[in-house]
């Protein structure tokens, strides 16, 4: 049976790897999800087969309850709620790692080797930090805690002292097997998760989400060693590594470093930007009919979606409008910035939900060179990812951040509710350019107005 279980775990691990590979492209994402689900089913059934005297009622009951809640949430969550849902899921992975570690430590009649103690320590403190950090991220993304950075004097020193104390209690546990020391280590790690995330502003939340994804993977891998479960080790390592790579990609897209993100304060600095100090500026505004006329008479149109599109649930109406323009002979494409929305890939999922053809959706590196030859760019619900200050204003907090160069197009149309600043708290010079026309209103209503205008 041991050989059979090893083979089945290997099959599950291979399926998890194929799942990650499939999720790297919208075209193969569904197939990747299928691989992941089949791999998890094999892993769970194999674990049932090799367990010693399992309490089936409790385990099956938990699986059914969790599956029911997950199914309900997946069917009811709005697209705007997807980022905080992901953060909440990360918190559960972290919490499970902590609970498993605590159960292993308190398991009577089992003496852990030095290596196992280190594994328990690492899995538990990473899991604890992941849990509370993800809860804070959930609160920031959902607006329950506020998106602004929370900073105070001595914050970094406090984090350092907490980290030292956490490691200190871990060392005490290692040499004495003290349950109290292990619990103190977990408690301090829970506090550290909060203090690490509160100074991070809303503008850095996409990086935080991917970073917590990585943390949850490493926590699972650490506990996999404790449980001697190879598939958990492999799956956790894959998630941890992919999350780390994604965090790097996000930081590169924002011209940030992981260290600067963890030190936080970006959202707070941005909020203190120059928008208020510069005084009122002039801008041009128009109607949905004006915008429809410009785009229906263009040869090339690029649409830049942002979080505002998700808030108004306008993606289906927008694709209907794009289809009408395409029928009129207009070349319509979508430009996606790596950090558009509130989490990595948010806009890709949004457009996939509206069944936008994959060949119309292009990443920043693929489409940036085309903006200068584009007749009209429609920026809908986006702000910071098209802010020219990232390239032109050396004093701007986002200077050096790669952006979608919408300002290079012949005409730019921006759909916004008002002239308020974006998530980073910065004013956008794009809105005040002579070739920019602002169309104010709810994104869905504006797009529905565009559809009516081009149909008549």
The Cα–Cα gap between 26 and 346 comes to 12
384 labelled catalytic? yes
Question: Which residue out of 274, 384, 393, 442 is catalytically annotated?
Answer: 384
Q: 436: which DSSP letter?
A: E
DSSP character string of 192-217: HHHHHHTTS-GGGHHHHHHHHHHHHH
Dihedral angle over CA of 86, 89, 91, 92, nearest 10 = 180
Strands 436-440, 361-363: pairing kind: unpaired
CA distances from 169 to 1, 163, 166, 183, 208 (A): 40, 10, 5, 9, 27
The Cα–Cα gap between 223 and 219 comes to 6
The Cα–Cα gap between 41 and 200 comes to 37
User: Do the beta carbons of residue 313 and residue 82 sit within 8 Å?
Assistant: no
The Cα–Cα gap between 456 and 446 comes to 16
User: Do the beta carbons of residue 212 and residue 90 sit within 8 Å?
Assistant: yes
Active-site residue list: 384
């Amino acid at each position: 049976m041991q050989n059979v279980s090893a083979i089945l775990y290997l099959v599950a691990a291979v399926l998890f790897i194929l799942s990650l590979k499939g999720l790297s492209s919208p075209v193969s994402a569904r197939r990747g999800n299928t691989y992941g689900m089949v791999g998890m089913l094999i892993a769970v059934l194999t674990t049932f087969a090799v367990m010693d005297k399992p309490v089936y009622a409790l385990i099956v009951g938990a699986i059914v309850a969790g599956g029911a809640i997950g199914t309900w949430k997946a069917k009811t969550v709005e697209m705007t709620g997807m980022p905080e849902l992901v953060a909440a899921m990360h918190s559960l992975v972290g919490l499970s790692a902590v609970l498993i570690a605590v159960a292993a430590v308190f398991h009577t009649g089992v003496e852990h080797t030095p290596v196992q103690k280190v594994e328990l320590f690492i899995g538990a403190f990473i899991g604890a930090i992941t849990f509370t950090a993800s809860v804070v991220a959930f609160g920031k993304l959902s607006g329950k805690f506020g998106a602004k950075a929370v900073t105070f004097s001595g914050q970094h020193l406090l984090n350092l002292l907490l980290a030292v104390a956490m490691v200190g209690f871990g060392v005490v546990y290692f040499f004495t097997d003290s349950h109290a020391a292990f619990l103190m280590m977990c408690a301090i790690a829970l506090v550290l998760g909060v203090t690490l995330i509160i100074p991070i502003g809303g503008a850095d939340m996409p990086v935080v989400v991917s970073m917590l994804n990585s943390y949850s993977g490493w926590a699972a891998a650490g506990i996999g060693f404790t449980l001697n479960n190879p598939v958990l080790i492999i799956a956790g390592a894959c998630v941890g590594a992919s999350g780390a790579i994604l965090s790097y990609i996000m930081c590169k897209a924002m011209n940030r470093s992981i260290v600067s993100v963890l030190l936080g304060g970006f959202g707070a600095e941005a909020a203190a930007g120059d928008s208020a100090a510069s005084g009122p500026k002039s801008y041009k505004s128009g109607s949905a009919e004006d915008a429809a006329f410009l785009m229906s008479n263009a040869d090339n149109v690029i649409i830049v979606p942002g979080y505002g599109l998700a808030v108004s649930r306008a993606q289906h109406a927008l694709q209907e409008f794009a289809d009408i323009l395409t029928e009129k002979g207009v070349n319509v494409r979508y430009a996606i910035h790596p950090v558009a929305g509130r989490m990595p890939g948010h806009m890709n999922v949004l457009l996939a939900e509206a069944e936008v053809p994959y060949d119309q959706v292009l990443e920043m590196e693929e489409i940036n060179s085309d903006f200068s030859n584009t007749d009209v760019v429609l920026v809908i619900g986006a702000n910071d990812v098209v802010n020219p200050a990232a390239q032109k204003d050396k004093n701007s907090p986002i200077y050096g951040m790669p952006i979608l160069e919408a300002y290079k197009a012949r005409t730019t149309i921006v759909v916004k509710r008002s002239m308020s600043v974006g998530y980073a708290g910065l004013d956008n010079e794009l809105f005040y350019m002579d070739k920019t026309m602002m169309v104010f209103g709810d994104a869905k209503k504006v797009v529905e107005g565009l559809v009516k205008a081009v149909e008549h």
